Amino acid sequence: MHAETVLKLTMQDTLQQAAQNRDAWIRAYREIVSEHPAAEDLAEQLIDRVQRAYAVLEERETLRSDGSLCQDPAYMEEFIRQEEQQEAALDGTFPLGREEDAAFALPYFPIPDLARIQLGFAAQVHTGTYSEYAQDVLVRKGILLEVLGQWKEAERCYQGVSTSSVVQQREFACRTKAQEQGEALYQKGMACVEQLDWDGAWYPFSQAADLGHREALAELGFMTVYGTGCGRCIEEGLDYLRTAAKQGSAYACQVLWELHDEGLRDVTGAEAQAWCRAAAEQGNAKALARLEDGFDLRPVTEILRERIGQGDVDALWYLAQELGDTQEAAGYMQQAADAGQVDALLFYAELYGDPAQPELYDPVKADACYRQAAEQGCEKAILTLGDRALHREDPPFWNRTEDPAAVPEDLRQRHRTQFDWYLKAAQGGCVSAMSHVAAAYHYGYPVEQDDRQAFLWASRSADAGDSYGMYACGYFYEHALGCEQDLSAALLLYTRAAEAGELGAMYRLIDIYETGRKGIPADPAKASRYRFAAGMNWD
């Protein structure tokens, strides 16, 4: 790195200005160390660096003042060689440690802010408030996001500055880095898939998708539609798949037409055929073969009536939806409920359980419908039965605000009933219920305190990819609650939870990295990164 860049100088600045900037850098580093003693080692390295940069400029000035030396070719060749070596040694692995990064960032920040960025405290740097005429704020935010490796977000900041070719080049560089990072994460996810570790694949796939990787988005769609490695949500999964298919993913197209072939009514024959053709145009052999078989393009109602004749209970519900608000639809809806179709049971349960419709309100019938659906393992019905055990003004058992010993017995009983239903949902695989069950066992309300059970349910929630479950499980590992202490496991779980957006995990990581723990050294840069991610000291 050029000595001028290290010291934040322009080509017109004098050696006197270089000395002033050197002193300003040193003051800035030492002021930060007074606030954050853990940064002292890196600060000393950076102080030595600015002193070496000043020495390079000082030697250069000495050469200029002695014109006779410039006339000696051998001396000049050796001088230039040594200066290049000295300047190359000024590069570093800390933030803004490369010439191109430092040269880009220097004009946008004063020396104290640059020193904080270099020492890993970017979250403490204020960027200012954006307005139409303050595009430099967007650039500063982009630089700080780059420091944190958030390439896609940095790219979006730079996109708002269309008047600078230098910023546009930086935007392209961020896009390239995002693509490279996205591909690396995608490959990491695929490696997990090859090991059938779907839970492990979710996180890298979601990160890669956030970076614009279309095949990772397609994999997320597949996982979400089928509930593999995550909670099942057909609508969300289809959104992922359709977006990836529009971007040219032949795999997403294939999953979409195969979902239609499996009977998913959300993908019509016409849509399945269109995606199949799109994949065939890319040379996909399966798509070409599937097109030869043809697609059933009859109206959905005609296809559903045929399935009803074949004894398909779900087709009763779907046909009622297709027919809309008609007497015929109501008849099919009733037939579906009589046959125990879960969606129809939930429909009538909500209808009978709504006090806003007094002419239909019948809590006994509502409970009966919910129980029928719950017997078939319906999570929504099980959780609702738990919630219906409470009075309207009752808080849920995980939100009690008073000492457990002071809770009235009738409320405690209602909470215990609610807990029993949530436990049943958790035992059936409901991830959202697992964290509440873990909290109940940990705090000893409305059941007996049992940290082993709390750890068990937090672990299951974490294994299912729930960010709060990861945080809770990490907390148990850190404090040896219901398990043996394992700081490495706690750190891993906190990190996974924080990367998924869990604030509690971010705060734990900030505390751990600021002071260090047994076997975990202090790391000011990581502490700063999580402060930034948590929104602390950030405009």
Q: What is the CATH number of the domain that holds 502?
A: 1.25.40.10
* Judgement on whether residues 15 and 112 belong to the same structural domain of the protein: yes
d(CA 194, CA 181): 20
**Distance in Å from the first CA to the final CA of the chain:** 31
Same domain, 370 and 428: no
Alpha-carbon span 24 to 106, nearest angstrom: 14
Domain boundary at 376, 405, 425, which? 376
Q: In this structure, is residue 34 part of a structural domain?
A: yes
CA distance 223 to 408: 45
**Cβ of 78: how many Cβ atoms within 10 Å?**
11
pLDDT of residue 330: 93
CA 181 from chain centre, in angstroms, equals 14
Within-domain flag for 389: no
Round to whole Å and give the CA distance between 290 and 10.
65
Residue 479 falls within a domain, yes or no?
yes
pLDDT for 539: 46
Q: Is residue 359 part of a domain?
A: yes
Token pair of 56, please?
């390079």
164: containing domain: 131-247
Q: 247, 278, 311 — which closes off a domain?
A: 247
Do 407 and 528 belong together in one domain? yes
Q: Which pLDDT belongs to residue 423?
A: 97
H-assigned helices in 66-134: 67-70, 73-88, 99-105, 111-118
Query: Are 353 and 339 a contacting pair, CB within 8 Å?
Result: no
The 3-class SS string of 22-47 reads HHHHHHHHHHHHHHCHHHHHHHHHHH
Is 269 a domain residue?
Answer: no
Mean pLDDT by groups of 10 residues along the chain of 539 residues:
92 90 95 92 94 91 70 74 90 91 92 94 80 76 89 87 84 91 95 88 92 95 91 92 96 95 87 95 93 88 90 92 91 95 95 91 95 95 96 90 82 96 96 94 94 96 92 96 95 92 93 91 90 72
- Token match 């950030």: residue? 538
* Same domain membership, residue 370 and residue 437: no
Angle between helices 214-226 and 165-194 (to 10 degrees): 40
Query: Could you tell me if residue 465 is inside a domain?
Result: yes
What is the distance between the alpha carbons of residues 123 and 144, in angstroms, rounded to a whole number?
8
The pLDDT value given to residue 131: 56
**Do residues 97 and 117 lie in contact, with contact meaning Cβ atoms separated by under 8 Å?**
no
Taking the C-alpha atoms of residue 5 and residue 8, their distance in angstroms, rounded to an integer, is 5
pLDDT of residue 519: 87
Compute the residue count for the chain: 539
Tokens of 509: 């990581």
Do residues 416 and 524 share a domain? yes
Structural domains of the chain, count: 4
> C-alpha dihedral over 436, 438, 441, 446, to 10 degrees?
10
Residues 519 and 417 in one domain: yes
Q: How far apart are CA 318 and CA 336, in angstroms?
A: 9
Residue 390 belongs to some domain of the structure: no
Q: Does the reported pTM lie above 0.85?
A: no
- Residues 383, 397: Cα–Cα separation, whole Å: 13
Q: Are 21 and 9 in contact (CB under 8 A)?
A: yes
Same domain membership, residue 234 and residue 171: yes
- Are 168 and 201 found together in one domain? yes
Q: What does the pLDDT read at residue 500?
A: 86
> Which pLDDT does position 78 carry in this prediction?
80
